[in-house]
């Protein structure tokens, strides 16, 4: 039986989601300078790829080696997930609010859980389903959709928000098959290679190059790439390497909490009582996913347990029941 993921794996995955949650602070200034949602996707992809390829070429050149047939996964994640989930997410943010955008984005774990059942045969347990339901309800409280609801949400925005969640889920589906062969850094680099190529071919970002004469555009673009993209995706993909796709996705539901808290701390927004309740529910869902069995089974000489030596210690391996 595989060794259970340690606390470090869970914290790595959650930290990746924290970096994602800060994204609103970096894209709002770009909208103020006249960039569209599709332009912002292009900026995010191109800046991220340039940074990653330089980093890899200098420090991790050996990790650039890949199998040609695996590039279908990188291209799939880069185009069908990264490009389109970002576009739908940013578009909802530009037309309504970050709160609504991030809530609808977090229909993603539901899609991941369902798709993982079909593609990876991951078990759809009651515990996982309960944690997912708690996470979604918590997100709804955090952004104010509960307890009173929110009227006047255009159907177009709702549809784009749900599509952002579906495309977000595709990242885990495309990336999971190659996580055993490559590092999170390698996967992220090649994913954004294909996103960058696609965005250069389909956006007007080159025609708007004169906008980069503004220092705050450069700062927003760099922070968007370094914090909310490079750090976020590498950390999340590294966690995904050791977790079921559905578990990693549910842990990442801490992102909307960070998005709301960043609004409170930096944008002068106020946190209501039911939002605090929502934060508690989302954190509880993460605990449900990561919690180890409360009572370890005792080991006896006659049990189906043995020790296998490894450098620096021993590893307890149990026979699956």
Percent of the chain with pLDDT over 90: 36
Mean pLDDT of the chain: 80
Tell me, what's the pLDDT at 114?
A: 78
**Residue 115 covered by a domain:** yes
Lowest mean pLDDT among 21-25, 62-66, 266-270: 266-270
Number of domains observed in the structure of the chain = 1
Tell me, what's the pLDDT at 69?
A: 96
Question: Which residues touch 208 (CB under 8 Å, ≥6 apart)?
Answer: 34, 35, 39
Tell me, what's the pLDDT at 243?
A: 79
**Residue 99 covered by a domain:** yes
**Residue 318 covered by a domain:** no
Query: Is the predicted pLDDT of residue 71 greater than 90, yes or no?
Result: yes
> Of 63, 300, 101, 291, which Cα lies nearest the Cα of 190?
63
Burial class (CB in 10 A: 0-12, 13-18, 19+), 294: exposed
Query: Is the predicted pLDDT of residue 134 greater than 80, yes or no?
Result: yes
Query: Is the predicted pLDDT of residue 295 greater than 50, yes or no?
Result: no
**Residue 299 covered by a domain:** no
Which residues face 307 on adjacent strands?
A: 316
More confident position, 154 or 84: 84
Q: How confident is the model over 91-111, as a mean pLDDT?
A: 78
Q: How confident is the model over 183-207, as a mean pLDDT?
A: 94
Tell me, what's the pLDDT at 314?
A: 33
Tell me, what's the pLDDT at 309?
A: 35
Q: What is the pTM of this model?
A: 0.74
The three-class DSSP label of residue 2 is coil
More confident position, 29 or 106: 29
Q: 51: how many CB neighbours lie within 10 A of its CB?
A: 17
**Residue 248 covered by a domain:** yes
Query: Is the predicted pLDDT of residue 304 greater than 60, yes or no?
Result: no
**Residue 298 covered by a domain:** no
Query: Is the predicted pLDDT of residue 235 greater than 80, yes or no?
Result: yes
Which residue range forms the structural domain that includes residue 26? 7-291
Query: Is the predicted pLDDT of residue 225 greater than 90, yes or no?
Result: yes
**Residue 316 covered by a domain:** no
Q: 77: how many CB neighbours lie within 10 A of its CB?
A: 28
Give rounded-to-5 percent helix, strand, coil for the chain.
Answer: 75, 5, 25
């Amino acid at each position: 039986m595989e060794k259970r993921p340690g606390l470090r794996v869970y914290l790595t995955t959650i930290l990746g989601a924290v970096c994602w949650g800060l994204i609103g602070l970096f894209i709002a200034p770009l909208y103020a300078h006249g960039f569209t949602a599709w332009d912002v996707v292009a900026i995010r992809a191109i800046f991220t790829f340039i940074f990653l390829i330089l980093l890899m070429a200098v420090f991790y050149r050996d990790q650039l080696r890949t199998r040609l047939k695996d590039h279908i996964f990188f291209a799939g994640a880069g185009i069908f997930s990264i490009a389109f989930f970002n576009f739908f997410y940013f578009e909802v943010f530009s037309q309504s609010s970050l709160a609504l955008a991030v809530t609808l984005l977090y229909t993603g774990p539901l899609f991941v859980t369902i798709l993982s059942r079909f593609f990876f045969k991951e078990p759809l347990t009651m515990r996982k389903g309960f944690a997912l339901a708690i996470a979604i309800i918590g997100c709804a409280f955090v952004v104010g959709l509960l307890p009173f609801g929110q009227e006047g949400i255009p159907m177009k925005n709702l549809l784009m928000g749900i599509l952002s969640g579906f495309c977000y889920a595709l990242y885990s589906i495309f990336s999971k098959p190659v996580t055993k062969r490559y590092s999170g850094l390698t996967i992220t680099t090649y994913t954004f290679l294909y996103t960058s190529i696609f965005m250069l071919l389909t956006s007007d970002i080159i025609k708007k190059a004169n906008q980069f004469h503004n220092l705050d555009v450069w700062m927003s673009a760099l922070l968007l790439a370094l914090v909310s993209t490079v750090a976020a995706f590498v950390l999340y993909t590294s966690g995904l390497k050791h977790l079921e796709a559905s578990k990693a996705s549910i842990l990442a539901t801490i992102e909307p909490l960070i998005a709301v808290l960043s609004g409170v701390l930096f944008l002068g927004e106020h946190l209501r009582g039911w939002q605090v309740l929502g934060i508690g529910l989302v954190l509880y869902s993460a605990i449900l996913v990561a919690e180890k069995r409360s009572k370890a089974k005792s080991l006896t000489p006659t049990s189906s347990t043995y020790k296998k030596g490894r450098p620096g210690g021993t590893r307890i391996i149990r026979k699956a029941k």
